[in-house]
Amino acid sequence: MFTRTRLLSCIAACSLLIPSLLSARSIGDIVNPSTPTVSRADFLSWSFESLSLDKSDSDCTLPFARYPRGLKATLCAAQSQSALSFFVSGKQYTLGKAITRGEALEVLTALLNAQENVDVSAFKDVRTDLEKHAVMNAVAFKWMTPARSNLFGIAHPLTGAEALTLLQAASGGSKTESTPVITINLSSGSNQGSLPRQDLLDAVWQLINRDYLRRDKIDGTESSYKAIEALVNSLNDPYTNFFRPASASDFQSQIKGELSGIGANIEDVSGVITVVSPLPGSPAEKAGLQAKDQIIEANGTALTGLGIDRAVTFIRGEIGSSVTLKIRRNNVEISVTIVRNLISIPEIQVKWQGDIAVVQLAQFGETTEKQIRSVFSTIAKQNPHGIILDLRNNGGGLLTAADTVVSNFMPKGTVVAKVQSKTETTQETTQDEPTIGDNIKLVVLVNKGSASASEIVAGALQDHKRATIVGTQSFGKGTVQEVIGFRSGEALKITIAEWLTPLGRKLDGLGVKPDIIAEKTGDRDDQMQRALEILR
């Protein structure tokens, strides 16, 4: 199963054998939530159907003297994934027994090859390595809620309601919203469908498994992830990234307006972790981080060459803990200590300077897409003398959110951007009537931390002569990314196109040049003052 999101952003964070692409039934149709206790057999069956796992290997010798014949394909597939050993007791059939919460987590850990590493020492009932491994995944992926602060409840029988919640979380689903699903047909016999030296890769892997001295040290999942990461990194595209499950979850949380850490949009520029912009009010902003700062080390660990996925694991940490970053700014290295915190991104903030409305957007996420037209409709009712749209340090986000922002100021059907892919050029246009009359003057503030979707909005309003752009040259990111989420929790953010302004200006690497250049010096916000002067 794949989910897709069209993205324009500088924010950072698929196994080789891709699982089934389409689920025919919802998990709510598969799992019986009213069951007081779930049997081992039922949980195995529900897991394979809910997660659309492959059951093609149905011919095997099972460790049970007897079992339901209709379940053999599921049992063989589970055995091949080492997910059946938890239920074997001699030759006795134990599949009819109630499955515990811990056993259910161990089954999913085996089926999904999940290998997260978080602290679970607080749970006194988690003792064996198998239990620790399974609970680590449950905590990292939010599969299951602990019974108490010091007891996870792994020995408790699993209820039908818990099974439903668990499988929804493991599949990336939701109790209240259905995840959009698309089918991607991957051909296996063409140059497009396989690596040029796939035979060599397979041969090396087989030789390692056959002859390597320390074969017991081989971690298949880690090897696969590193192979995928190397493939993606070979593209030398800072905006194309592979996310392991935890990072993929963090990435989606950020788009939804929630994340933990220092609060900065970052990207990998030629192997160097680079700040695009600190988020407003974040620990990063309070500590003085700036756009274009290069993060060289985190608590003494060198980050150069690690990539976004690994680098952020050293930058993030528990709320209240601190991280000391070595920053390179204008070829001068400095150290900055930042106390980590839970970051709640206030995407939209509205303030009034007399009769002038100031609308600050922190990113173009789901909140902006859903609420911004209502915000501007409310502003319009108050008859503002002018509007300032503050996009400074806005690192981008969703293309649809950018379209929606522009729609408030331009007639329905106005071109927002031209998008050039490998095969075609399309136009993004506004889909709604404006909320703000063209008699109300508009100023857009940008700086070097304004990137991607921010540049689309500023460039469109500049081309259509609807706004005066004030500030400094923007970041200069003119490519479009698509996020493809995999059922097993990973995601691929891949560059699929580049965009131009409505008049065909290419801004990748160049940025938006303001109509009026204004620097922000010290504590004085000269850019805002200049914008107010224009409107008054």
Catalytic residues: 452, 463, 477
**Can you name the residues that pair with 8 across neighbouring β-strands?**
397
Q: Residues for the chain: how many in total?
A: 536
User: CA-CA distance, 141 to 166, in Å (whole number)?
Assistant: 10
Residue 151 CB burial class (10 angstroms; 0-12, 13-18, ≥19) = middle
DSSP 3-state of 516: strand
Tell me the torsion sign for CA atoms 138, 140, 143, 149: positive
Backbone angles phi, psi at 294, to 5 degrees: -100, 125
User: CA-CA distance, 434 to 340, in Å (whole number)?
Assistant: 40
Side-chain half-sphere CA neighbours of 514 within 13 A: 23
Q: Which of 185, 183, 159, 212 is nearest to 46 (CA)?
A: 159
User: CA-CA distance, 159 to 131, in Å (whole number)?
Assistant: 19
User: CA-CA distance, 407 to 401, in Å (whole number)?
Assistant: 10
Tell me the torsion sign for CA atoms 408, 412, 418, 421: positive
Given the structure tokens 């912009």, which residue do they identify? 277
Structure token digits, residue 103: 């056993």
Structure token digits, residue 275: 């700040």
Contact at 8 Å (CB) between 43 and 158? Answer: yes
Which secondary-structure segment (H or E) carries 333?
strand 332-339
Contact at 8 Å (CB) between 102 and 134? Answer: yes
Contact at 8 Å (CB) between 31 and 164? Answer: yes
Structure token digits, residue 98: 């109630």
DSSP 3-state of 501: coil
Running DSSP on this structure, what letter comes out for residue 87? G
Running DSSP on this structure, what letter comes out for residue 513? P
* Residues sharing a CB contact under 8 Å with residue 56, sequence separation 6 or more, in sequence order: 77
Tell me the torsion sign for CA atoms 204, 206, 210, 216: positive
Helices (H), 178-293: 198-211, 220-233, 245-255, 283-286
Given the structure tokens 């007897």, which residue do they identify? 66
Q: Which of 246, 235, 233 is nearest to 13 (CA)?
A: 246
Total Cβ atoms within 10 A of residue 203: 11
Backbone angles phi, psi at 63, to 5 degrees: -85, 20
